[in-house]
Structure 1
Amino acid sequence: SKITFIDGNKGILRYRGYNIADLVGSSKSFIEVVYLLFYGILPSADSLQNFILQISQEYMPPKIVGDVIKSFPQNSHPMAILIACFSTLASYYHDQNCNDELRHTRLAVSQIAGMVAMIYRHITNQDFIQANTELSYSENFINMMFDISSYKFTKVVAKALDIIFILHADHEQNASTATVRLTGSAGANLFACLAAGTATLWGPAHGGANEAVINMLMEIENPNNVKQFVQKVKDKNKGIRLMGFGHRVYKNYDPRAKIMCEICKEVLNDLKVSDPLLEIALELENIALQDSYFIERSLYPNVDFYSGIVLKAIGIPVKMFTTLFALARTSGWSAQW
């Protein structure tokens, strides 16, 4: 589409004609990229400030959303609760400015972060934290999740989240995006479409790959075990898959994975965290990229290979990983809608 372009053979991803690496390299914020997806151009300074104001004023979801979240058992899956949140918004906003599509897309991006944070607070038996409109999008999300006053907050972490959101914002006509578009084609309002897209993303064949990578790396346990693990992957009789490698679209290195690897190193260094999973991941990538078995099959690291390590370091529970995918992709879903 005009929104997102992918050349899988060359490993290229563009939003509205802008290369993803250039957007990240020029320090564009997630909200700037959201504006780009919605309007097709990067915002001027004045347009950006106005857009940020519109987004920030709606950070906090309606009270009824919080009530719905609290109605779920605390052991509920976060994605199930998120689907209910979008359904609640579909009811709440159904007769308010129905023809103002851009307002609804802004509301979706504004409130998804708060909903994800509130879901986290609920399943961890903590009180909700009010939105802070003075903070940037990612900073407010961190605050609503963890409370900045008690969390080891750094600008590096906030920037890393911004980049993670940018990398996951849109990706052509995948299953969840196609679902959003199909539901929208029947005239359903945006929030009903987002509920459908979230349900599709919850499917293990779509979302959740970074969780599978974390489980795989934990199973390997040590960088010294990587060679043996790779041999098991190559043995068809073992039935072991190499998670985080290969992509249905990319037949080259996923451009998002290169960026994610660097972000992973920066976050761990900033937080003074030594995560053995990163050492295992780097060794696994090094061995796999030199092995003809994987080269011949065009199996290169994808965006999920390193993203889970970053999220884990920031303090996001594995159970919440797919909700952050939904948070980022809400911008792309809304633009496609």
Structure 2
Amino acid sequence: MATEQTSDATAADGAGAGTTESLTVTDNRTGKSYELPIEDGTVKGMDLRQIKVSEDEFGLMSYDPAFTNTASCRSSVTYIDGDAGILEHRGYSIAQLCEKSTFLETAYLLIFGELPTGPQLERWIFDITHHTYVHEDLKSFFEGFRYDAHPMGMLLAGVGALSTFYPDAKQIDDPEERYMSAVRLIAKVPTLAAFSYRHNMGFPYAYPDNELNFSENFLSMMFKKTEAKHVPKEALSKALDVLFILHADHEQNCSTNAVRGVGSADVDPYSAVAAGVAALYGPLHGGANEAVLKMLREIGAVDNIPGFLEKVKAREAKLMGFGHRVYKNYDPRARIIQQHMDEVFEATEYNPLVEIARELEKRALDDEYFTSRKLYPNVDFYSGIIYEAMEIPANMFTVIFAIPRTAGWVAQWMEMHEDPVTKIARPRQIYTGARELDYVPIDDRDGPDKIVGPPARRPKRPRRGA
């Protein structure tokens, strides 16, 4: 608990009266000093509330839009050191997991906090494999979408709809219900994702094949045609499994914060994860790899790279796939993706954008303008090229992102509910509007038009159906 000191208690050298594990703050409005405990490199926001000019004041608040310097929780799921380019899940480096583990084993690690034994992994895989099917009513629900519905919008609706099929999931204090929700979400999101793709393409929905592994099964549901069994090439399923591990969790990002925020209201996990899907739908969070492909196509050829980089320096173009909100070094996930690119292209048609991407990376990293600004390739720079090589359309990139991230969202949701200090999320605000106005009769009001655009009217382009 923070303690108040008088202003003359502050040492002459400015070090303050507190210990090395505290912060002494002097309020220049009153001359009072306060000693705020420092724990894990943070001070508690509520410790600021005692700092006030008079006793009837609310107290001091911190102002931090977008939580750029605010720790919203304690978590042991994922560790990131952005300056050093380190990413660890439960203490294991992302490089080791991609080399030695599988996505489902990594998902177990995220949720339960430790690597499984042989029997534990066998049971985990069995449970997920046998919950891949969704209720036929969900299939009918998807058939109700327009033929050109965006797959991400369909996935968002489908995940939210799962809560209506499993009403017992609202019993969030029941360990068995929490476990079943985790299994169902990880198992069924790939099925819903594949359904959304096939609906968008006009193909009949393909059911899961439980004889295949997790990544193979998803590719089978995506691309199966008239053959009795579709078994993807091993290089493709392995690369996709690695991409799933790379995207499984990434600490307190926008979508994870959405899952925790909505989950703090004690909703069922399906509704909380649907909030994460909605956040991921936003182009600032989940659409970067699509923007990279667009940029590479606009560059067109290796010879055009120098001119493009000059445009970037002149702020006439954007260098997509470089830089990261957290990483100020080379994104470790990008290095791992590069190791699997050649294997993917040996199994598919070669993508000429690869040469442009590799040369663009080389020239940018040789240019002090970009390195001094800590602009290094991130995970999105190469992932889109691999997805495209697998014949996955751009509007499915974010959907595929959501498949592995579901494991991270569930792990974060479970951890939040086991944290004894968890409360319903309720941020404060700084009110900037008017107050104590008198109501003005409508005939006495005047002001500029606030409504923009034409009046509502029937669409010019005919639509199929209602």
Tell me how far apart the structure 2 counterparts of residues 157 and 191 of structure 1 sit (CA, whole Å). Answer: 30
Q: Please give the secondary structure, in 1, of the residue aligned with 2:329.
A: coil
Q: 1:69 matched to which residue of 2?
A: 142
Q: Please give the secondary structure, in 1, of the residue aligned with 2:87.
A: strand
The equivalences for 1:116-195 within 5 A come to: 116-147=193-224, 149=227, 153-195=232-274
Q: 1:248 matched to which residue of 2?
A: 325
Tell me how far apart the structure 2 counterparts of residues 296 and 7 of structure 1 sit (CA, whole Å). Answer: 19
Q: Does 1:257 align with 2:334?
A: yes
Query: Which of residues 249, 265, 270 is equivalent to 2:347?
Result: 270
The C-alpha deviation readout for 1:55-80, integer Å capped at 9, x for no partner, is 00011122122111111002111111
Q: 2:5 matched to which residue of 1?
A: none
Query: Which of residues 28, 49, 52 is equivalent to 2:122?
Result: 49
Tell me how far apart the structure 2 counterparts of residues 62 and 265 of structure 1 sit (CA, whole Å). Answer: 39
Q: Please give the secondary structure, in 1, of the residue aligned with 2:132.
A: coil
Tell me how far apart the structure 1 counterparts of residues 95 and 395 of structure 2 sit (CA, whole Å). Answer: 29
AA at the equivalent of 1:279: E
Deviation at 1:246, TM superposition (A): 0.2
Deviation at 1:96, TM superposition (A): 5.5
AA at the equivalent of 1:323: V
Q: Please give the secondary structure, in 1, of the residue aligned with 2:286.
A: coil
Q: Does 1:15 align with 2:85?
A: no
Query: Which of residues 273, 279, 284 is equivalent to 1:200?
Result: 279
Q: 1:307 matched to which residue of 2?
A: 383
- Give the number of the structure with larger relative contact order, counting CA–CA contacts within 8 Å between residues 6 or more apart: 1
Q: Does 1:36 align with 2:113?
A: no
Q: 2:4 matched to which residue of 1?
A: none
Q: Please give the secondary structure, in 2, of the residue aligned with 1:69.
A: helix
Tell me how far apart the structure 2 counterparts of residues 332 and 87 of structure 1 sit (CA, whole Å). Answer: 17
Aligned residues of 1:264 and 1:307 also touching (Cα < 8 A): no
Q: Which runs of 5+ in 1 are unaligned?
A: none
Query: Which of residues 282, 290, 299 is equivalent to 2:358?
Result: 282
Tell me how far apart the structure 2 counterparts of residues 50 and 8 of structure 1 sit (CA, whole Å). Answer: 35
Q: CA RMSD in A?
A: 1.3
Q: 1:82 matched to which residue of 2?
A: 155
Q: 1:215 matched to which residue of 2?
A: 294
Deviation at 1:270, TM superposition (A): 2.5
Tell me how far apart the structure 1 counterparts of residues 166 and 337 of structure 2 sit (CA, whole Å). Answer: 36
The C-alpha deviation readout for 1:39-58, integer Å capped at 9, x for no partner, is 11111111111111000001
AA at the equivalent of 2:300: E
Deviation at 1:94, TM superposition (A): 1.7
Aligned residues of 2:169 and 2:178 also touching (Cα < 8 A): no
Tell me how far apart the structure 2 counterparts of residues 257 and 224 of structure 1 sit (CA, whole Å). Answer: 24
Q: 2:404 matched to which residue of 1?
A: 328
Greater helix proportion: 1
Q: Which runs of 5+ in 2 are unaligned?
A: 1-74, 414-466
TM-score (norm 1): 0.96
Aligned residues of 1:245 and 1:305 also touching (Cα < 8 A): yes
AA at the equivalent of 1:13: L
- State which structure, 1 or 2, has the greater radius of gyration over its C-alpha atoms: 2
Q: Please give the secondary structure, in 1, of the residue aligned with 2:79.
A: strand
Tell me how far apart the structure 1 counterparts of residues 138 and 242 of structure 2 sit (CA, whole Å). Answer: 27
AA at the equivalent of 1:214: L
Aligned residues of 2:163 and 2:268 also touching (Cα < 8 A): yes
Identical residues among aligned pairs (%): 45
Tell me how far apart the structure 2 counterparts of residues 95 and 203 of structure 1 sit (CA, whole Å). Answer: 30
